[in-house]
Structure 1
Amino acid sequence: MATARWNGEIIAESDDTRIVEGNHYFPIESVSPDYLRPSETTTVCSWKGTASYYTLHVGGEDNPDAAWYYADPKPEAAQIKGYVAFWKGVEVTG
């Protein structure tokens, strides 16, 4: 089972992560919605498409843009639609 932790809390856990470019993508339903705050940030990947971000809010602290997802990925990345990945100090094990 893969686990994502930040600020002492488990953010996500799943047996169904997808690994792309070394990042575990967790099914959105495995992520605690209490920790996610929408962000206005977007970036573009040439083969995956446009990524949108969430700020993590855990224990009264924010980790801006620490989670990202592709709402409408390009066909080459269709396997990560509905999945979320983490960075910026989020510890992912598994």
Structure 2
Amino acid sequence: MKAVLNDVVIAEAPESELIKIEGNWYFPPASVKAEYLSASDTPYTCPWKGDCQYFDVSDGGAALQDRAWSYPEIHASAIDRVGRDFSNYVAFWKEVQILP
């Protein structure tokens, strides 16, 4: 699967390596092209996942603020709930298309 912004592939991995949580596909960290993300200072804590790290996403042009996120240190109960460790996996908001 691919995460695509304006024809630029931001992340790519086989579906078997992704994790779907609450309707969002989370890509493994190694599958994400870091040059298209920059860490944001926007704070957020999910009550069941933990502290969130937001990222601005760019296709090489203008950046879209807080359109990607991950959980660097997730709660142990979240791993139990999902069935896999998804620490540092990255999900994307609607402007970034998720394609097969």
- Common fold by TM > 0.5: yes
- Classify the secondary structure of the residue corresponding to 1:82: coil
- Classify the secondary structure of the residue corresponding to 2:51: strand
Shift of 1:93: 2.1
- After superposition, the C-alpha distances for 1:6-41 in whole angstroms (9 at most, x for unaligned) are 122010011110111111100111011110111101
Q: Which runs of 5+ in 2 are unaligned?
A: 80-84
- After superposition, the C-alpha distances for 1:32-78 in whole angstroms (9 at most, x for unaligned) are 11101111012111111111111012131101111100011111323
The one-letter amino acid paired with 2:2 is T
Normalising to structure 1: TM-score of the pair? 0.91
RMSD value, Cα: 1.2
Correspondence 1:73 to 2:45 = no
The one-letter amino acid paired with 1:87 is W
Aligned positions, number: 93
- Classify the secondary structure of the residue corresponding to 1:41: coil
Q: Which runs of 5+ in 1 are unaligned?
A: none
% same residue = 39
The one-letter amino acid paired with 2:11 is A
The answer for the alignment partner of 2:12 in structure 1 is 13
Higher strand share: 1
Correspondence 1:43 to 2:49 = no
The one-letter amino acid paired with 1:65 is D
Counterpart contact for 1:54–1:64, Cα < 8 Å: yes
Q: Distance in 1 between the 2:4 and 2:26 partners?
A: 14
- Classify the secondary structure of the residue corresponding to 1:40: coil
The answer for the alignment partner of 1:32 in structure 2 is 33
Runs of 4+ in 1 over 3 A off after TM superposition: none
Equivalent of residue 93 in structure 1, options 59, 82, 99 = 99
